[in-house]
Structures are given as structure tokens and as C-alpha cells.
Chains A and B, each alone.
Chain A
Amino acid sequence: MNRNDEPGPLRVVIAEDAAIMRDGLTQTLTRRGHQVVAAVADGDSLLRAVAQLQPNVAIIDVRMPPTHRDEGLQAAHAIKRDHPGVGVLVFSQYIETRSATELLAGARGGVGYLLKDRVADVGDFIEAISQVAHGGTVLDPEVVKQLLTASRRADALSSLTPREREVLSLIAQGRSNTAIAETLVISPGVVEKHVASIFAKLGLLPSDSDNRRVIAAMKYLQS
């Protein structure tokens, strides 16, 4: 992980209707030197706060008042449409693959979709926020797992080695080559070789941008 390389504190807006989670996130972020400029409990307040404060990133719970359905998701789409520069990290109690892939495909980076459980691994979660704030793309491992399970490309995928499947999964989660090398404890050079092999086997065009790489992998698995 390259969290130490990230420059400066982030300006964050939190939208979460559960006070305990809202406060917990605020404290955690503040302790790490980030600035929580607004913490709100519903979609409308979120849109107003984002428009006024132009934060680096908004952390958004999917289910919020008044209907407790997908207010957060709607708000996330609206923010990416009206303020493409603001990073959006949606976190949800449940995985909805379709919601996740729609959100990612509709944006050019600066977007993430994580299961709420991920807050437990504080470091990784903060890293994900930072990644999204800086234009990166983050997809929950659970979503990637479902995409791989349900993929219609079972034949092509079966031509990958187990290691290559691991790497593909990490690519789809939005990890950079450096991050993948750290996670799998291998050298960046080996990762690059794996990536090249995967893209060749699946017939994907190599891409320098991690974002485009995620979208390509996601779309491939979905098609």
C-alpha cells in the first residue's frame, strides 16, 4: 500500500444515517489528519453539502431516509454527473452487483463501491477513500467474486492460471500494480508479466490507467 505517498489531508463529506457510524468515521478520519467538512444523514443534505463545500470525496451510505432504499446510490450518480471532480465512495450493507457496475461504468474514475464491513479494516478503508479522492477506482472484492462466478466467459477464464485469476481479481478491485505486488508479496516486474499474460489471454487491450483497466476487466466479466 502506498498510503504514505498520498499528499495532504482530504476534505471529506460523510452521508450516513446511523449516528454511531457517522461519528466513528469522522473520528477515524480526523485522527488521520483528514478534514470532515460535513456529516449528514440524508441524500438531499448530501447534495447541498457537496455543491457548497466541493470536497475531495463523499462517503455515502446506500440506504438512507426517507425511503431507506437506494437514496445514496441516486445521490452518488447525481454527484458524478454534476461534480465529476468529487470522488464518490458508496458503501452498502449488501452487495448489488448491478448497482456497483452501473456506478463504476458511469463515471470516469474517482468512484468506489464497498461493502460496509470494510470499515473494520480501517487502514484499507482509509486507503480506499484516498484512492477514490485522487481519481482512482475501487470495487469491493465481493463484487469481483460475484462477477467472476457469474461471468459468461468461463471458458476464457479457465485458461488463466490460479495466480493470474488472483491478479485479475485484484485488477478488478482497482488495485495498482504496485499494490498488487504488495498484496501478493511478489515483485512489480512479476505482476506486470502476469497482467500482460492475462490481457493477452482474454483479448483485452493493455491500459496504463488503473481506472480504465478496472472498467475493462469489469465489462469483460459482465459481457
Chain B
Amino acid sequence: MRRQSEPNGSRRAGPYAVLMHDAWAWLRRHPWETDVALAGAILLLSLGQTTADPLIGVVSLALAATVLARRKYPVEAFAVAVAVAATQVVYGLSPGGGYLIGAWQPTVADIVLAVLLYTVAANTAPRTSVACLAVCIALSAIAIERWGPANSRHPLDSILAAAALLGSVSLTAWVVGESIAYRHRAASYASLEARAAQLEAERDAQARIAAAAERARELEVRRARAVDQSAARLRRIERDLHDGAQVRLAALAMTLGEIKENLESAADLAGDGGRTQRLISAAHRNAKETLAELRDLARGIHPPVLDHGIGPALDSLAETSAVPVGLALDVKHRPSPAIEAIAYFCAAELLANVAKHAGASKAEISVTSDRDRFGMTVSDDGLGRARLSPEGGLEGLLERVQTVDGQLTIDSPAGGPTRITVSLPGHA
């Protein structure tokens, strides 16, 4: 499986390696079966010794059984095996040769100590496994010291050889177990490092999201302030026009009107063929036209009727609409002036569209306004097919609505009816 994930396939395994790999994989997948087989094999090997005393079989069985517990309770299983082995060393061997108590003679089953030492080394902290290794070596030394001299003419050589043999078995088991543990630890460190890196990345991402959210909030506040300020500024401009330019121009037009009338009544005295009179008439006409233009301009900047609230403003729109307009107002909370202005201009444009394009016999404006939301629907019974198009009136409305995160939805199937809904926040 691993090889498939290596793109270059640099290590090509032979059939033997594949077989071993599969065997180990099977063993890893079946721990219980493996341990039962292992315990069974150990027990079988020790059965040869039971001819001396059937009770040897019982002790061997106990030793073999510890293998079954090794995965779940490695240290405890090791302790039990050590206890049994120690008993064997103390009671099974006689310092003078032979056995003190036959049933406790050491058997092949004592090999479980190596298995359990391996298990402890592989699964527990190095400190524990080193202690267990020391126990094994000490036990081996005691066993050989008690047993060795009886069977040798050169006791010291035999003891050293046996100690080296038994000790190396323990050491090998421990080293193999430690190497497994090391691999596990290395793998676990690697995964911990990966996890730590992932957590750090997540924390960074969250910090960036939080910063972005904070920035968005800040921008929203600033935009709301800008929208409100701009609405207030427009209102001020309109008032300045009203109190300043419009009044002065009206006064100027009045004066020109007076001069014109005076000239008319004294036409014969002017003596320039009526030239002055014509000039004054033109100036008078210009002044009046400018007044009308200025009035439209000021009304476009800020419709004064909005000062009374969105209700009366829509009422006034409905009254001057060429198509009859029904008005349903449910204003629980008056929106901010900027929102009212957007709503008003939307309603004005939509009603103008109804009159111009819809071929409708009647229209309806319904408004619901509470603290958070201002909703307005303009519907008509016309021909439908109202569409957003670049440069179109609806596109302009959409832009206006979007300046405060509002929505404009158009439902206008061919053949009608048309429903256009404007949804705005209560405040910009």
C-alpha cells in the first residue's frame, strides 16, 4: 500500500518482502488471534517437561496465560510472570543440583518473560522498561547462580556463558521493544507536530477572520456615518438654495417684472424702438426659467416633503401619480432620513415607470417599517416584463439601494402583474 503512494517506486520489494509485509499486517490486524497462537505454542513447547510432574503443566499454563493479558496490562502481566519465574528460581532449583519442588522447575514457558519484556519496552515509558530489563537480568543471574554449578565442571565459565545467553535474550527483547516504542513515539511526535502546526494555522486563520470582521464592522459604522452625513448635507444644500439663491432669484425676477411693466406703460418714451423692452423681457423670461430649473434641482437634492416623514411623502407621490395608487402604510418606527430618502426616490422612480411603461390601470404601494427593517413593495396590474438593464432606471435604483446593503427584487412575468420589493435596513 505504501509503495503505491510513492510516486517514483524507488524501492522495489521482492516476493519475500511482500509476503512478510502481508504477514505482519495480518498479525497487526489480528492481535487476539496472534496472542492465543503464541500462548498455545509456548504451552506446547513446555509440555515435554510435564512427564516429571503434571503440575509443571499448570505452572506453564499460568505463564502462557500472561501472554493473553500483555497488550492490555503489559506491566501487570510482566509482574505475574516475574513472580512465577522468581518462585521457580527459589523453589524449583536446588543449589546442590536437581529440583527442590518438582512442580516449580523452570520450563520453556519462561520464554514469556522475553515476550513480556518486549511488550513492556514497546508500550511503556523507557524508565519502566529499563527497570523490567534489570529485573530480568537479575533474575537470570540468580537462576544461573543457583542452577549452573550443579551441571558444570568449570562453574565460572558456564555461569558467564549462561548469563550472557539469558541476558542477551532479555536485552534483545528489550531492544526490539524499545525500537518499536521509539518508532511509535517518533510517529506520535510527528503527528503532534503536525497537529500543532495545524492548530497554529487555524489560530492564524481565525485571527485573520476576526480582524476582517472587525474591519467590516468598522467600515459599516463609517459607511452609516457617511450615508447619514451625506443625507444631512443634501438637506442643508437644499435649505441653502431655498433661503439663498432661490429667494434672490425670485426677487430679481420680481424686479425685472416690475421694470418690464413700467417699460410697457411707458413704451413710447423709451425711444430705442423697444430694444430695452425686448432685453428686459428676455432677462425676465430667463430668470423665471432659471427659477423653475432651480426648483426641480433642489427638489431632486432633497424633497422637502420628506421632512414630514416617509408616510406623507409617499402620500404626496401617490396623489400626483398619473396612475391611481393605493397606499398601505404600516410604519411602527420611522427609519433614518437617509433611508427615507432612498425609499422615496425608489417609489418616485417606480411610479414613474408604472405610468410610462407598464400600461397599468392601478398601482399599489405597501410599506412596513419597524426598528430594523424598512420594506416597500410597489405593484401594478400592467404588462410585466420589468427588467434590470444597464443605464435603466431600475439599475440606478438597485445601486442606490445597495449603498446601504438593501435589496431590490423584481417579480415581473410577461403579462404581469409586476411586484418590485425594496428592502432596506432601518438605519444606514
Contact = CB atoms under 8 A, between A and B. Distances in A.
Give the 8 A-B residue pairs with the shortest CB-CB distance, closest first: A120-B253, A122-B257, A18-B247, A119-B254, A24-B251, A117-B291, A20-B251, A120-B257
Interface in B233-289: 239, 242-243, 246-248, 250-251, 253-258, 261, 284, 287-288
Given A123-B261, A146-B320, A21 B239 contact: no
B250 A150 contact: no
Interface in B291-339: 291-292, 295, 298-299, 304-305, 307-308, 315-316, 319-322, 324
Contact of A98 (B288, B299, B315): B315
Central interface residue in B257, B261, B284, by most chain A CB within 10 Å: B257
B254 A98 contact: no
Interface stretch (A89-97, A131-139, A203-211): A89-97
B117 to A, nearest CB: 98
B320 A150 contact: yes
A5 interface: no
Contact of B295 (A94, A97, A152): A94
Contacts of B247: 18, 20-21
Contacts, number: 81
A28 B260 CA distance: 13
A17 B246 CA distance: 13
Contacts of B321: 150
27 contacts: A20-B247, A21-B251, A25-B254, A28-B254, A69-B304, A69-B308, A93-B242, A93-B295, A93-B304, A94-B305, A98-B316, A98-B319, A117-B288, A117-B291, A117-B295, A119-B251, A119-B253, A119-B257, A120-B256, A120-B284, A121-B257, A122-B254, A122-B257, A125-B254, A146-B320, A149-B320, A152-B324
B251 A63 contact: no
Contacts of B257: 119-123
B246 A116 contact: yes
Interface in A61-108: 63, 68-70, 93-94, 96-98
Contacts of B322: 149-150
Nearest to A92: B304
Contacts of A96: 305, 316
B284 A63 contact: no
B316 A116 contact: no
Contact of B250 (A63, A68, A70, A120): A120
Interface residues of B, number: 34
A35 to B, nearest CB: 18
A130 to B, nearest CB: 15
Given A93-B242, A120-B288, A63 B253 contact: no
A18 B244 CA distance: 8
Contact of B291 (A63, A98, A120): A120
Interface string B144-175: 00000000000000000000000000000000
A116 to B, nearest CB: 5
A97 B320 contact: yes
A28 to B, nearest CB: 6
B250 A116 contact: yes
Central interface residue in B251, B288, B321, by most chain A CB within 10 Å: B251
Interface of B: 239, 242-243, 246-248, 250-251, 253-258, 261, 284, 287-288, 291-292, 295, 298-299, 304-305, 307-308, 315-316, 319-322, 324
Contact of B319 (A18, A28, A94, A150): A150
Nearest to B241: A93
A149 B247 CA distance: 28
A73 to B, nearest CB: 11
B248 to A, nearest CB: 6
Contacts of B305: 94, 96
B320 A24 contact: no
Contacts of B251: 20-21, 24, 119
Central interface residue in A17, A117, A120, by most chain B CB within 10 Å: A120
A98 to B, nearest CB: 6
Nearest to A143: B320
Nearest to A122: B257
Contacts of A116: 246, 250, 291
Given A94-B304, A97-B316, A97-B320, 8 more contacts: A20-B251, A24-B254, A70-B308, A98-B316, A117-B250, A119-B251, A125-B254, A152-B324
A94 B305 CA distance: 9
Contacts of A125: 254
Central interface residue in B251, B254, B288, B298, by most chain A CB within 10 Å: B254
B118 to A, nearest CB: 96
Contacts of B246: 93, 116
A218 B291 CA distance: 26
Contacts of A68: 239
Contacts of B320: 97, 146, 149-150
A47 B385 CA distance: 55
B316 A122 contact: no
Contacts of A149: 320, 322
Interface in A5-45: 17-18, 20-21, 24-25, 28, 31
Contacts of B255: 24
A221 to B, nearest CB: 11
A117 B299 contact: no
Nearest to B239: A68
Contacts of A122: 254, 257-258, 261
